[in-house]
Structures are given as C-alpha cells and as structure tokens.
Structure 1
Amino acid sequence: MLARRTILTGLAAALLAGCQTAVQTASPVAIGAIRVDTGPLAAKGKSATAAAIRPMLERELASLRSAARHSATLHVTVTGLYLTSYAGGQSATLGNDTLESEAVLVGTGGRELARYPVMSIMAPSFSGAWYLPDINQRRIDALVANNAQWIRQALGR
C-alpha cells in the first residue's frame, strides 16, 4: 500500500511540474518613451472611456522610463474593454471584466524588439460595492492597473 501511494504521489508531482507554465520575459531594455493609443477602443464607440484610459495607463507605466541615450519606445495599443452587467453577488451574464491591449517595444531605428498581447481579466466584484455611483470607474481603474502590471511583468520589470 505504501509503495502504491508513493508511486501515485510521485506521478502526481511529475504531472503538476509538467503543467506549470512560465511567463516569458524579455531582458530589460531601456525605455525612453511610452506611447499609449486608445484609438481602436474609441473606434468601437467608447471614445469617452478611451480618452480616460489613455492618461491612466500612461501614469501606470511611467516608472518604466529611463534616461538612457539609446533607448526603446514602448507602444501600447488598447484594443478592447468589456464590463459585464453586474448587480451585486454575481454578474448577470456570469462573465468577467476584460481590458485588452498590445505592448510593442520598438528599438532605435524603428525595429520591433518584442510584442506582448495582454488581456486583463477581473471579476466585476473585485472593485467593491456594486451600488456605489462610481463602480464602473473603479472597475476600469482596476483593469488598467492590472494591465500595466502584466506589461511590466512581460518586460521583466
């Protein structure tokens, strides 16, 4: 019995080790400028939200800038935002809030160094009480902060 349990435990550990995924990170590159484009989001009819997200994401990513002479530019394009219907307890559509973006690191001379598609997914309840008047703004704030964190992680920062 002990040998069978040992074998099964070893097999389970080996399977779990094989199932782990690693986040691919780039070697740190000096970033001199950050450009955020929310045009694709505005084109989907969310121009006011797109205009609000742009400075928020720029502020979240500002710490990535360095003063190096030969530095890259980080272009972040926000491509989608979805806030599910939410009325407390659970979402009406049983979905999550999402913010989609793509971060492209462009080196000197315009050469693309790396491209990172990012999708932030959060439960609508993450941002607090659904009945407060600013709930949607808090949900967007949380998605932007989460998206910036994933971009930083992809860049190895």
Structure 2
Amino acid sequence: MARRRIAGLLALSAFAASALAVAARAGDFPSLRGERFADVRVDVRPLLALGAGAQAEALRADLTAALRSRFASRLGGRGPSLVVLVRGFSLRPYAGGGTNGRSGFGGGSQNDYLDGEALLVARDGAVLGRHPQLTATPSSFGGAWYDPQSERRRVTAIADIYADWLVRNLPAD
C-alpha cells in the first residue's frame, strides 16, 4: 500500500514538474565553447523528500553512471558542473502486455516517466543555464513483469534513455 502511495506521489510530482518544464525554454543552456564540465552530478532530493528512498538512490546511481558514460569526452575540465535535478520519477504498475484495445509497441499506455532538469552550475553555485527534459519509456523495457529484477532494469533503462537524449539536446561545444 505504501509503495502505491509513493508511486502516486511521484507521478503527481512528475506531471506538475512537466507542466513547469513546458514553460521554461530549452534554449537556456549556453555553449561551453570548448570547455569541459568539471563534474556530473544527479540530485534526487525531491524524490527522497517524497519517500522514494532505495528507488531514488538506485536512480541516482544509474543516471550518474549513464551521464558519465555519455559525456565522457566532455568531462574533466575546469568549467561548470552539469547537475541533473530529478523532479519526478514514476514506474507504472506493469502487469504484462495488455493493450487496452490498442495495438502498439510497449503494451499500450503503460509508460515509466523521468522528469528532470539539467543545470549548468558555476563553481560559486550560480545556475548559468537550464534544460528541462521529460523522458517516457514503455514499462515493458524491464522484461517480464513477473521477474523480480524487472523493476530494477526499468530504472536502469529510463536512466540510460534520459542520458542519451540529454547528450543529444545540450550544446556540444
């Protein structure tokens, strides 16, 4: 019961944050002009405040690893840090490939969501730029719903996809 309550709170947080993200402009993330990021960090404090605990920590670990991998050639400099603030995260209850009368990839409308904002943060803590991003993946990406590792694979999958899109959307130079 508590798990469903947390999932509901996280879903509500994701939709509220996505409404705010639409209002922000994606072009507010400046080019580093050849400079490298000093570091990459993932902030899941909003999820921890909602009681997400172990799932939030798993997401932090997976997203940090994915971002460091995708941005490897752009890390290790003296520039600002890339910080991804995760505002919402939702793993939908997934009970197989029911399509609710529709056909399509991923079993209808059963999607997982990761809502965050990439922040370009100077050494003094000033936010120099921001890029909101909402990622949705089919819940089936974790494999068979009855497999005990399915939920953990879903966390890894959405972190990887979020990182893939972020590296494509941020200025490369």
If the TM-score is normalised by the length of the shorter chain, which range does it land in?
A: 0.7 to 0.9
SS of alignment partner, residue 39 of structure 2: strand
Distance 1:84 1:27 in 2: 36
| Match 2:46 to one of 18, 40, 45 | 40
Instruction: Say if 2:92 is the partner of 1:77.
Output: no
Distance 1:94 1:147 in 2: 19
Deviations 1:98-128 (A, max 9, x none): 0111110123544433201111101112332
Distance 2:127 2:51 in 1: 30
Q: 1:86: Cα distance to partner?
A: 1.2
Task: Give 1:154's aligned amino acid.
Answer: N
Percent identity (aligned): 37
8 A contact 1:32–1:67 mirrored in 2:
yes
Distance 1:48 1:126 in 2: 20
Q: How large is the Cα RMSD of the aligned pairs?
A: 2.4
After TM superposition, the score normalised by the length of structure 2 is 0.67
Instruction: Say if 2:57 is the partner of 1:51.
Output: yes
Larger relative contact order (Cα-Cα within 8 Å, sequence gap ≥ 6): 2
For structure 1, list consecutive stretches of 5 or more residues without a partner in the other structure: 1-22
Q: 1:26: Cα distance to partner?
A: 5.0
Q: 1:91: Cα distance to partner?
A: 7.0
Q: 1:84: Cα distance to partner?
A: 1.3
Distance 1:124 1:110 in 2: 36
Distance 2:157 2:83 in 1: 21
- Once structures 1 and 2 are overlaid, which stretch shifts more, 55-64 or 138-147? 55-64
After TM superposition, the score normalised by the length of structure 1 is 0.73
Distance 2:48 2:94 in 1: 23
1:54-65 alignment, distance < 5 Å? 54-63=60-69, 64=71, 65=74
Q: 1:36: Cα distance to partner?
A: 1.3
Number of residue pairs matched by the alignment: 134
SS of alignment partner, residue 31 of structure 1: coil
8 A contact 2:48–2:56 mirrored in 1:
yes
